Structure 1
Amino acid sequence: MKKHYEILDGLRGTAALLVVVFHLFEGLNPDYRTNPLHHGYLAVDFFFLLSGFVVGYAYDDRWPALRLRDFLRLRLVRLHPMVLVAVAIGALGYVLDPWASAVQRTSGLRMTAALALGALLLPGPTLPNRFDETHPLNGPCWSLLQEYLANLAYALVGPRLGPRALAAVVAVAAAALVATAVRHGHLQGGWGRSTFWMAPVRVAFPFSAGLLLFRRGWRIRLPGAYGWLSLALLALFAGPTWQPAGYYEAFCVVAVFPLVVAAGAGAYAAGRLGPLCRWAGRISYPLYLVHYPFIYIFTNWVNATHPTRAHALPVMGALVVFFVGLAWVVLRLYDEPVRAWLGARFRRRPPVPA
């Protein structure tokens, strides 16, 4: 079995925790200038970069023995069980939200369509009080759809892309991302219908750049990498509030994030912090998906009660602890057992003759 890049695991957990904090402050006040992590949505772009690196590491040496359908099955087993539970939690939160009152009333047909399409990770119908999101029951699912598409593109053409061709893809994708960030003024888009066109732009560069980082073997040796790189992510997400922010955010994604991943990949092991990094990596994916339905409820509570920041901060702190605990419970009692069962079931199937 291949070793894990423990520091990259830890950084994935750091980014997941930071995006949770960003969403809580966003629910408290949607004005990003008052959000301590006003560039926190760039965590999604960082996840895409990590994904490209990890997919290359996990599967590059398995082609052509690995068939397309086997690769897709492996990725579905890894990712989709959490999608199902995230959509289910989102549906329950939408229906049972005590602070939404009549604002979230919708027809049973529309709700059923949102639940069915969400389970397939497809954009669903517009629901009241969901800000025109493409995945109204659990907003972050928009990025999982892009993750699936990036994995499919990798399986179809990635193994046959030589170094120059891959570098060309990265260069074109970088130009598109920079142009989008500058023209749009920021990279906060892709999750809504009006900015859905930004979603493939946001995934194309980081995913392909992560794959290129892995294949070219670019690594940076940095003592104490996990701590320093976690602080770097915090500093980047809390960066300047210049408006427009497009130049800064494009610089973070195109120039700085690859350096962070290269430094995180400079060693497999994280030393004494290894257990923490491994745990943070395990919990990052469920944390990212299960927290957001409660952000909707928190936002409705804020709008209904108008708490002061001093009153809201203890609630936000308690929610962070709750999110981490819930993510751990879902991971241990649902996600890992289901993935283990599915993996064993597929391994028992007899090989299909060529």
Structure 2
Amino acid sequence: MSSISSAAFTDTKPHYDLLDGLRGVAALMVIWYHIFEGYAFASGSGTIEGFNHGYLAVDFFFILSGFVIGYAYDDRWGKNFTMKDFFKRRLIRLHPMVVMGAVLGAITFYIQGCVQWDGTHIDISMIMLSLLCTICFIPAMPGVGYEVRGNGEMFPLNGPCWSLFFEYIGNILYAIFIRRLSNKALTALVVLLGIALALFAILDISGYGNIGVGWTLDGINFVGGLLRMLFPFSMGMLLSRKFKAIKIRGAFWICTIILILLFAVPYLEGTDPICTNGIYEAFCIIIAFPILLWLGASGTTTDKKSTKICKFLGDLSYPIYVIHYPFMYLFYAWLIKNQLFTLEETWQVASCVYTWNILLAYLCLKLYDEPIRRYLAKRFLNRKL
């Protein structure tokens, strides 16, 4: 898509329905993670009690994205298919919802009162500049005027766009460089990136005690964000080249349960001499996620109902990811204002926030994203989606 979006498959290739479904499951878990993040943010504790490792969904999205892009495009280059064609397809797939997320971010920031977290009022001109930069995918450096929330986010109107920024970098590197690598060279690259990512996490290079980096443009975050994208993205592409299905029943439910359990593991204390939580994160990204990808790609839906469920979850995953966080900002501001720190105190509002994001994502998909992409595909690709 993004890290969370699927590539457009060729018409003649079979579709991995279960991977769509798993992407949707991970996107739904991200919303819950951010709800619990709000309680930690409001209380100042810094400890997220529920789905503590939900941020690893981003790394799962990256490996899915690499697999699907490799599967969909690796054998198309040189057959009247150019980098221009590839970039047009990716922009049409990703960018309409980027624009929608930016607009919703500007609207919710205005509703919130046009103030930073410390109460500083922000001029409308800076909000409009931030909106323009987000639409054009120009990230904000910490402290610049259009970094309107004042907490260093790369895209302050819609924080999760940071992962889409790295997704775009991954797409560019794929088109220019990665796709040209032989299997041996790609394997070597994946091994080197895996070692670098493991060291980054286990040695706690960021100092956060976790690998939740990439959302701001300081040096460590940028390097960490690149590693978080490059390893799973490249691993996904390698797996797409080497994939051979294995026989497995109930793959979707097995993978779903494992994903939820992985995300729900509490923060693991201990950073001296090595980061215990980093060991767990490295395990998830380097070992568990590739296995889950392989199992998910091996499984098949057994009836039309299952296929529809997976398709629905897959279609909804990218809009959910892109549009949900502007409303989290409002939810966080409400929690802070009313000094509410637990789900037990706020479950009614939290449930409404969760349901609203799913409903709005569906409306954006059907009334905006799909029609816009159909028009753009017909206009610039001379085909129907």
Shift of 1:219: 3.6
Shift of 1:159: 2.7
Segments of structure 1 that go 5 or more residues without pairing to the other structure are 350-354
Other structure's SS at 1:8 match? helix
Shift of 1:316: 0.8
Give the corresponding residue for 1:189.
213
Q: Deviations over 1:137-171 (max 9, x none)?
A: 10010000111110111111233211100001101
* Aligned residue pairs, count: 349
Give the corresponding residue for 1:74.
89
**Are 1:252 and 2:271 an aligned pair?**
no
Other structure's SS at 1:265 match? helix
Structure having the larger proportion of residues in helix: 1
**Are 1:105 and 2:121 an aligned pair?**
yes
Matches of 1:128 and 1:74, distance apart in 2: 31
Matches of 1:97 and 1:177, distance apart in 2: 37
Matches of 1:182 and 1:158, distance apart in 2: 27
Query: Which residue among 354, 361, 364 is the counterpart of 1:330?
Result: 364
Segments of structure 2 that go 5 or more residues without pairing to the other structure are 1-10, 270-274
Give the corresponding residue for 2:71.
57
**Are 1:157 and 2:177 an aligned pair?**
yes
Matches of 1:221 and 1:209, distance apart in 2: 22
Give the corresponding residue for 1:10.
21
Structure 2 residue identity aligned to 1:259: I
* Contact 1:173/1:204 (8 A) holds in 2: yes
**Are 1:134 and 2:168 an aligned pair?**
no
Aligned CA RMSD, in angstroms, stands at: 1.9
Shift of 1:192: 1.8
Structure 2 residue identity aligned to 1:13: G
Matches of 2:178 and 2:300, distance apart in 1: 24
Other structure's SS at 2:247 match? coil
Give the corresponding residue for 2:110.
95
Shift of 1:78: 0.4
Q: Percent identity?
A: 39
* Contact 2:323/2:361 (8 A) holds in 1: yes
- Bigger Cα displacement from structure 2, 214-223 vs 310-319: 214-223
Other structure's SS at 1:193 match? coil
Give the corresponding residue for 1:239.
265
Shift of 1:111: 2.0
Q: Deviations over 1:224-271 (max 9, x none)?
A: 111111111110011142124111001100000000000000034354
Structure 1 residue identity aligned to 2:56: L
- Bigger Cα displacement from structure 2, 60-69 vs 138-147: 60-69
Shift of 1:92: 0.8
Shift of 1:104: 5.4
Q: 1:319 to 1:152 in 2, by over 3 A?
A: same
Counting only pairs closer than 5 Å after superposition, residues 158-177 of structure 1 correspond to structure 2 as 158-177=178-197
Query: Which residue among 125, 133, 147 is the counterpart of 2:167?
Result: 147
Give the corresponding residue for 1:307.
340
Shift of 1:348: 3.9
Counting only pairs closer than 5 Å after superposition, residues 207-246 of structure 1 correspond to structure 2 as 207-243=233-269, 244=275, 245-246=277-278
Q: Deviations over 1:173-220 (max 9, x none)?
A: 101111111122321111023323211111010000000011011444
Q: Deviations over 1:251-298 (max 9, x none)?
A: 100000000000000034354421111000000000001000011110
Structure 1 residue identity aligned to 2:38: G
Other structure's SS at 2:203 match? helix
